[in-house]
Structure 1
Amino acid sequence: MQNNLQKDRAAELLRSGRFDEARAAADALLAAGQASPAAARSIVSSRLALAGACLNLARFEDARHYAQGAFVLTDTHFADTDATKFAALEILQDACIAMGRLTEAHDAGERALAIAIAAHGQDSVAAARATQRLGAVLARVGDVSAARVAFIRAKDALMRATTADRADVDDTLATTLANLASTYQRPDEIELAQAIHDQALRLRRRLSGDEHVEIAQLHSNLGLLLSEAGQDDAALRSCERSLALRRRLLPQGHPDVARSLMEVGWMRTRLGNTDGATDALLEALLLLSALDMPTVEARAHFLLGSLLAESNAPAAAILFEKLCVNGLQRLRHASASHEHAFLGARQDIYRHLAESLIRSGRLPEALQVISMLKEFELDDVTNGVLRPVTLVRLTPFEQAQADMEAAVRREMRDTLKHTTHLTPAESEGVTAGGAAVLKSWFARLRADFAETDSATAAATTQVTSRRASVPQDDLAAGSIQLQYLLAQDGVEIIVSTAGGQRHYHNAFVPGEVHRLVLALRASIAQRSASWRGHAVALHELLIGPIEAELDDNKTDRLTISLDGVLRYLPLGVLHDGRRHLLERFALTVSAGGHGPGRITEPAPIRRAAGFGVTRALANHRALRGVRDELFAIVGTADNAHGVVDGGIFLDTAFTADALRSALKRRDGIVHIASHFVFRPARENESYLLLGDGTKLTLAQLAELRFDGVDLLTLSACETAVGGGHRQSGSEFEGLGALALNRGAAHVIATLWPIRDFTSAALMREFYRLRFREDFAVADALRQAQLQLLTGRSARGAAGAPRGLLDPDDDDASTNRPAREAHPYYWAPYVLMR
Structure 2
Amino acid sequence: RRSRFHAADSLVVAGLTTQRRLLGPDHPITARSLGRLASIRAAAGLFPEAETLYREALAALRAHHGPEHPEVALMMNELAGVRQEQDAFEEAEQLMQDALAIRRRRYGDRHAAVIQSMRSLAGLLREQDRYEEARALYDAALEQTRQVYGDAHPTVAAALNDLGGLSADVGAYDAALDYYEQAARLAETALGQAHMSAIGYRSSLATVYLYQGRYADARDVLQESIARAVSLVGEQHMAIADFRNNLSYALGYLGDAEASEHELRKALAIEQALYGERHTEVATTMASLSTLLWDAGRHDEALTTAEQALALRRQLLPPVHTDLGNSLYSLGSMYMT
- Answer yes or no: is 1:304 the counterpart of 2:283: no
For residue 144 of structure 1, give the secondary structure of its aligned residue in structure 2. Answer: coil
Question: What is the CA distance between 1:119 and its match in structure 2?
Answer: 1.7
Deviations 1:336-378 (A, max 9, x none): 5xxx35656x38x826862xx4xxxxxxx418xxxxxxxxxxx
Separation in structure 1 between the aligned mates of residue 296 and residue 197 of structure 2, nearest angstrom = 34
1:159 matched to which residue of 2?
143
* Alignment deviations for residues 1-34 of structure 1 (CA, whole Å, 9 cap, x no partner): xxxxxxxxxxxxx799363243122233245443
Match of 2:242 in 1: 259
Q: Partner residue of 2:13?
A: 23
SS in 1 for 2:302: helix
The answer to whether residue 329 in structure 2 is matched with residue 350 in structure 1 is yes
Give the aligned partner of residue 218 of structure 1: 201
Unaligned runs of 5+ in 2: none
Residue type at the aligned position of 2:283: A
Q: 1:102 to 1:244 in 2, by over 3 A?
A: farther
Report the CA distance between 1:130 and its aligned residue.
0.5
Which of 86, 96, 106 is the matching residue for 1:101? 86
Question: Letter of the aligned partner of 2:336 in structure 1?
Answer: A
Q: Is the 8 A contact 1:129 1:154 kept in 2?
A: no
Q: Kindly tell me: are residues 189 and 335 of structure 1, through their superposed partners in 2, closer, same or farther at Cα, counting changes over 3 Å?
A: same
Per-residue deviation, residues 153-181 of structure 1 (Å, max 9, x unmatched):
23224415675x51699444322321221
Deviation at 1:227, TM superposition (A): 0.5
Q: Answer yes or no: is the 8 Å Cα contact 2:167–2:175 preserved in 1.
A: yes
1:198–1:36 CA distance, 2 compared to 1 (3 A): closer
Kindly tell me: are residues 44 and 326 of structure 1, through their superposed partners in 2, closer, same or farther at Cα, counting changes over 3 Å? closer
Question: Secondary structure of 1:210's partner?
Answer: coil
C-alpha separation in 1, matches of 2:282 and 2:113: 34
* Conservation of the 8 A alpha-carbon contact between 1:258 and 1:287: yes
Say yes or no: does 1:145 pair with 2:141: no
CA deviations 1:406-458 (Å, max 9, x no partner) are xxxxxxxxxxxxxxxxxxxxxxxxxxxxxxxxxxxxxxxxxxxxxxxxxxxxx
Structure 1 position 132 matched with structure 2 position 119: yes
Post-superposition offset of 1:330? 5.9
Tell me the alpha carbon deviations over residues 207-246 of structure 1, each in whole angstroms, 9 at most, x when there is no partner. 3322333334323422111001111011122233444455
Task: Name the CA distance, whole Å, in 2 between partners of 1:316 and 1:109.
Answer: 42
Q: Aligned residue for 2:264?
A: 281
Q: Are residues 72 and 283 of structure 1, via their aligned partners in 2, closer, same or farther at CA, if it must alter by over 3 Å?
A: farther
* 2:336 match: 366
The answer to whether the aligner puts 1:320 opposite 2:299 as a matched pair is no
Alignment of 1:370-389 (within 5 A): none
The one-letter amino acid paired with 1:320 is T
Counterparts of 2:37 and 2:114, CA distance in 1: 25
- The 5 A counterparts of 1:266-665 are 266-289=249-272, 290=276, 292-294=278-280, 296-325=281-310, 327=312, 334-335=318-319, 340=321, 346=326, 350=329, 354=333, 357=334, 365-366=335-336
Work out whether 1:75 is the aligned partner of 2:62: yes
Partner amino acid, structure 1, of 2:214 = Q
The AA in structure 2 aligned to 1:84 is E
Q: Is the 8 A contact 2:209 2:215 kept in 1?
A: yes
Q: Is the 8 A contact 1:48 1:70 kept in 2?
A: yes
Classify 1:342/1:322 alpha carbon distance in 2 versus 1 (closer, same or farther; 3 Å): closer
Number of the residue aligned with 2:187: 204
Q: Judge conservation of contact 2:180–2:202 (CA < 8 Å) in 1.
A: no
How many residues align? The count is: 328
Q: C-alpha distance in 2, partners of 1:182/1:34?
A: 44
Structure 2 contact 176–208 (Cα < 8 Å) conserved: yes
Q: What is the distance in 2 between the residues matched to 1:259 and 1:223? A: 12
* Counterpart contact for 1:255–1:288, Cα < 8 Å: yes
Deviation at 1:106, TM superposition (A): 4.9
For 1:107 and 1:131, how far apart are their aligned partners in 2? 13
Gap change, CA 1:135 and 1:266, over 3 Å in 2: same
Equivalent pair of 2:135/2:163 in contact (CA under 8 Å): yes
Provide structure 1 residue ranges, at least 5 long, that are not aligned to the other structure.
1-13, 358-364, 368-833
Higher mean displacement: 240-249 or 43-52: 43-52
Secondary structure at the counterpart of residue 166 of structure 2: coil
Structure scoring higher RCO (CA < 8 A, sep ≥ 6) equals: 2
Question: 1:190, CA displacement in angstroms?
Answer: 0.9
TM-score by length of 1: 0.34
Letter in 1 for 2:183: A
Which residue among 77, 88, 99 is the counterpart of 1:112? Answer: 99
1:86 to 73, 82, 98: 73
Which has the higher mean CA deviation after the structures are superposed, 179-188 or 166-175?
Answer: 166-175
Q: 2:170 and 2:146 mapped to 1: Cα distance?
A: 36
Q: Which amino acid aligns with 2:104?
A: I
Deviations 1:531-588 (A, max 9, x none): xxxxxxxxxxxxxxxxxxxxxxxxxxxxxxxxxxxxxxxxxxxxxxxxxxxxxxxxxx
Please state how far the C-alpha of 1:74 moved relative to its aligned partner: 2.1
Q: Distance in 1 between matches of 2:187 and 2:287?
A: 33
Give the partner amino acid of 2:279. M
Partner deviation per Cα, 1:88-141 (whole Å, 9 max, x = no partner): 4455556x38x93343765653342232223234675533321211222344xx
CA distance in 2, matches of 1:187, 1:102: 21
Q: CA 1:75/1:220 → structure 2, altered by over 3 Å: closer, same or farther?
A: farther
State the TM-score, normalized to the length of structure 2. 0.75
Distance 1:322 1:59 in 2: 21
Q: How does 1:7-46 map to 2 (within 5 A)?
A: 17=7, 19-34=9-24, 37=27, 40=28, 42-43=29-30
What root-mean-square deviation, in Å, do the aligned CA atoms of Structure 1 and Structure 2 show? 4.2
AA of the residue aligned to 1:17: A
Rate the CA distance shift 1:189–1:352 in 2: closer, same or farther, 3 A.
Answer: farther
Q: Which amino acid aligns with 1:194?
A: L
